Structure 1
Amino acid sequence: MASEIDTSNRDPNNLNAHLGTLLFDDVIGEPDGTHSIICVWKLSHCCFEFWKGLCYKLMTFCCGCCIAAEWGCEFAYIAFWHIWYITPLFKVLEINCSVCQRLYSMCINCCMTPVCEAFGGVFHHFKRI
């Protein structure tokens, strides 16, 4: 069951922390020696903050629910495929690969081990001078 929605902390996992500090000073800056009139600077700051907030609110009002629905469907689709296809497929691969591993082990033990032991017995008698 979904937990209750926290309307004050809307990003509890800090998914978009990099956007939380997107302020006027992070986008627009006038270096020393190149300054606009103070009233233009202050008005620019007010306009930036106003339009950033207004446009965000309009876009979320117009598109937010539809986009949230689309993402909900997308994650439902992902969950469906993982639960009903991918995880069972991994189980099939695990079962089949364990059989292949046993077959490979038997072939190595039956064919290669006697050959290696024979060569080991031959070379065991050689001594370093």
Structure 2
Amino acid sequence: MEKPTSSMEDDSNIDLEDRDPNRLNRHIQVFWEEVIGEPEGVRSPECAWRLSRHCFRLSKGCCYVLLTVLIAPLLALCLGLTFACLAFEHVWCIVPCLRVWRITCSSFRNFWTVLVQSVVLPFTEALGYFFHNVRVFSQKPPDAQERKDDIHIV
């Protein structure tokens, strides 16, 4: 049997431009214009605005690069181990146990279905025929003003 190839795991076809093709991090807004905005009425001097924007971009870029170079490989190793353990757990433990449970419970389900259809269903249908002409009316007596509604069954 031929091994299926996954374009997601193949390093030779990695897209270095679009690094979030599934849009996992759309909620993260990190551009200056998405984080800082001065409304009308409060304005900093233009030189302070430009310097602040430049400091923001430079510090964000340098800090991100430093963190990704130092911490990202270790974190990627931990995440790889975590997802490998998770995949192992699902493939070798959870799915087979669920399959055993489903096979074991199928005979009980068949027994329960037969019991319900042969005993409970006729009984509830008979009760339905017995009570199908019952009508319930709710009205307030003319002399009582603060009493709850009386229920009359006819």
Give structure 1 regions of 4+ aligned residues with deviation exceeding 2 angstroms. 105-117
Q: Which runs of 5+ in 1 are unaligned?
A: 124-129
Task: Tell me by how many angstroms 1:116 deviates.
Answer: 7.0
Partner of 1:14: 23
Question: Structure 1 residues 99, 38: closer, same or farther in 2, change over 3 A?
Answer: same
**Between Structure 1 and Structure 2, how many residues are aligned?**
120
Residue 87 (structure 1) aligned to one of 95, 106, 127: 95
Cα deviation code 1:81-114 (max 9, x no counterpart): 1000110011011112211111113333554467
One-letter identity of the residue aligned with 2:51: L
Q: Deviations over 1:44-87 (max 9, x none)?
A: 00000111111100010110000111111111111001000110
Name the residue aligned to 1:24: 32
Percent sequence identity is 38
- 1:35-74 equivalences under 5 Å are 35-74=43-82
The alignment's TM-score, normalised by the length of structure 2, stands at 0.67
RMSD: 2.4
Gaps of 5+ in 2: 131-154
Structure 2 vs 1, CA of residues 39 and 116 (structure 1 numbering), >3 Å: closer, same or farther? closer
TM-score when normalising by structure 1:
0.79
Greater relative CO (CA pairs within 8 A, separation 6+): 1
**Aligned CA distance change for structure 1 residues 77 and 32 (closer, same or farther; 3 Å):** same
SS at 1:7's partner residue? coil
Letter in 2 for 1:81: E
TM-superposed CA distance for 1:30, in Å, is: 1.7
Question: More helix by proportion, 1 or 2?
Answer: 1
CA 1:112 to 1:15, structure 2 compared with 1: closer, same or farther past 3 Å?
A: closer
The Cα of 1:17 is off from its aligned counterpart by: 2.5
Amino acid at match of 2:80: G
